[in-house]
Chain A
Amino acid sequence: MLDNTYKKKIRSTILENKEISSGIYKMVVSAFSIAESALPGQFVNLYCNDGSRLLPRPISICEVDKDKARLVFVYALVGKGTKEFSKMIKGDTIQLLGPLGKGFDIDDSIRDHILVGGGVGIPPLLELVKNLKGKKQVYLGFSRGIYLVDEFEKYGSEVFISTDDGSFGKKGTVIDLLKEQKAKGEMIYSCGPKPMLKAISNFARENNIKAQISLEERMACGIGTCVGCVVKIKNKNGWEYKKVCKDGPVFPSEEVLWDE
Chain B
Amino acid sequence: MNKREDINLKINIGGVLLKNPVMTASGTFAAGREYSEYIDLNKLGAVVVKGIAAEPWPGNPPPRIAETYGGMLNSIGLENLGVEHFIKEDLPFLRGFDTKIVVNIIGRTIEEYCQVAERLQDADIDLVELNISCPNLKEGGVAFGTSPFNVAQVTREVKKHLKQPLIVKLSPNVADIVEIAKAAESEGADSLSMINTLLGMAIDINRKKPILANITGGLSGPAIKPIALRMVYQTSKAVSIPIIGMGGITNGEDGIEFIMAGATGIAVGTANFINPQATMDVLGGLLDYCEKYNVKDIMDIRGII
Chain A residues with CB under 8 Å of chain B are 1, 3, 6-9, 47, 51-56, 81, 97, 217-221, 223-231, 240-241, 246
Main secondary structure of the interface of A (DSSP, over half): loop
- In the assembled complex, how far is the CB of residue A36 from the closest CB belonging to chain B, in whole angstroms? 16
16 A-B pairs in the complex with CB atoms less than 8 angstroms apart: A3-B40, A7-B37, A8-B38, A8-B277, A9-B275, A9-B277, A55-B65, A55-B273, A218-B65, A218-B211, A225-B34, A226-B28, A226-B273, A227-B64, A227-B79, A230-B62
Q: A-facing mask of B47-81, CB < 8 A → 1, else 0?
A: 00010000000110011111101111010100100
Q: By the criterion CB–CB under 8 Å, are B37 and A220 in contact? A: no
Partner of A241, one of B28, B58, B74: B58
Look across to chain A and name the residue whose beta carbon is closest to the beta carbon of B40: A1
Given contacts A8-B276, A241-B79, contact A54 B38 (CB under 8 A): no
Report, nearest first, the 5 A-B pairs whose CB atoms are least far apart.
A228-B65, A221-B273, A218-B63, A225-B30, A220-B273
Does B115 count as interface, using CB distance less than 8 angstroms? no
The answer to the question of B29 belonging to the interface, with a C-beta cut-off of 8 Å to chain A, is: yes
A40 → B minimal CB distance (Å): 22
Chain B positions 98-144 with a Cβ under 8 Å from a chain A Cβ: none
B39 interface hit (Cβ, 8 Å): yes
Of the candidates A6, A241, A246, which one forms a contact with B39 in the assembled complex, judged by CB atoms under 8 Å apart? A6
Judge whether B70 and A51 touch: CB under 8 Å: yes
CA distance A9 to B67 in the complex (A): 20
B221 CB within 8 Å of chain A: yes
| Residue numbers in A under 8 Å from B147 (CB-CB) | none
Quick one: given A225-B272, A230-B79, are A54 and B58 in contact (CB under 8 Å)?
no
Query: What is the bound-complex CA distance between A7 and B280, given in angstroms?
Result: 13
Tell me which residues across on chain B come within 8 A of A229, comparing CB atoms.
62, 64-65
Whether B71 pairs with A54 at a CB distance below 8 angstroms is yes
